[in-house]
Structure 1
Amino acid sequence: MENPSRRAFLGGKVPELSPWDQFLLQLHRKVQGTVHPLEAESSQALLTVAVIADLHHARQLCHAFGVKLYVLGIPYCAEDLVDPVLWVDVGQLNQLLLVDKEKNQWFMQAGVTMAQLKAAGFSQLADLPDTLNVACWLAQPQYHPYAPQQVQKSGLVHASLLMADGTVSSLGAFGTQNTKPLNTPTLRQLVPQLFQLSQSEAMQQLLRLPAWGAQYRLDALVTEPVNLAYLLLGHGGHLGVLEWVVIQQSELRVPPPLKSPPLSATLQILAQELDAAVRAAFDPDALFSY
């Protein structure tokens, strides 16, 4: 078979690769994990991540080629699948370590499963599917129906989040008693915006309800102790890609589903506007969401 470079040298025309094929070619070259196109006629592919660096390469190429980046296992609505999509399977990022025996704090990568956590003593998670991983568990609101200003019962201590601009935000305790600085310029710009949203009238109305009425947990900023990691509870995969999280097992409480009267039309709109503002602050180019 004659190779393309020889054919071009002899004057033959080499067909140009489509942007999607260029994206896949570069992704294959850069990652250690495996890349599989999902359908011949579809601009969708699956990246099975081997190392965290694969997530960073994938984000950079998705941003450059206008491809959405979604975590496999998090539900998305059909409208999200209009653009080319790269699904990332984080299942091989499954390191689980006890990092503070006295406080019973555990480090867990995004792909750690509920089966692993149950085996480690997380009896609170007994009713959850064994195959559900930490990234998908944290992202789905139905698993975290905490009442307003009760998000500290999640036991979250710290989280590492790959953001749309490629920075990695360290999300943890925040306030006068925490001396650790916000670790990126993006985070230093983002947090004042979030605090401003948390003081809005819409927010005050949501805080008076028995169940949280928005998607993104802005009540994390008015809960004691303030911890930015709480923002990831039920975030739907829209705010970034989780790399790892630290959870204090002894503090984790899994709440029963909370029933709340339907929101009024006005408050529903206000909650949607708050969510849109949070999403735009984290992901202005809609890399992770439609």
Structure 2
Amino acid sequence: MDQANNSSESSPSKTESRWKWIALGCFVALVGLILWDGTDRRAADATAPLPHSPASAGSDQAPATLTIASFNIHGGKGTDGVRSVSRIADLLGGVDYAGLYEVRGAGSPNEPNQAASVAELNRSGWLFAATERRWWSDHFGNGLLYRIPIRSALRIPLVNTRGKAYRNAILATVPLQQGDVRVLSVHIDREKDRVHQLQAMIDLFLGLQPPCILMGDLNTIAGDPLLTSLLERPGVHSPLHESLPERLSSQNIDWIFTRGLETVNVSLVQNTASDHPVVKAEFRLEGTKNQPD
């Protein structure tokens, strides 16, 4: 009789233990599912409004010349392995308009996207065009900085045939005293989608009303047939090819091309803030060299 009682008393304990293990397994599975969902990279919503903020300093007056920069900031990580948006801000001081690539989104509610962080240091306006989402927020993409208000900005998703390699371009309208300039800034894929994406951007650039600019990390070297063909088109200029041919290494993949603009000056700035140089240039409208400001 005592043995029967002991068996009867231990049965609820075994059942209780079994349910605890089931509950623990369900909890672990739920946590794993949440982590999997959070780490999964998804395409950003190309129809969502672009987060932005106006400049806290600068002028509402359209400039006589336009100083621009194109810079792949490598997520803010320098050649020394240190992440620093202040170094990026220093390199972009005095620029009217800058296209940024490989920009990290907000890391937490108290940490803004990197375009906003750089803009805050330079008291400029900013815009962030995410290419992908992760951890249920815009995680990665391209950005713009501007000291003078831009007229408009449009995010253009690029073709993607290799999984989660999301890319986009930004087409913005930037004011100049003699008329608006259309600026197309883009980060092109470096693998199999490169040719299709680059050709699409070249076609769009050639179809824009001048004055216009195509700039960005094109992941394309100087001898690429697509660039050679582009430079053979009437009215297309490359400040780097024309002014700094001796500075162009066989590995240079960051470019600026123009139509309807004259180059005042251009520079290719090597730095430790990123693994890419900054391409800077100042432009004026064609035929305005001898006109008074």
Structure showing greater Rg: 2
Comparing both structures, which one devotes a greater share of its residues to strand? 2
With normalisation by structure 2, the TM-score equals 0.27
Comparing both structures, which one devotes a greater share of its residues to helix? 1
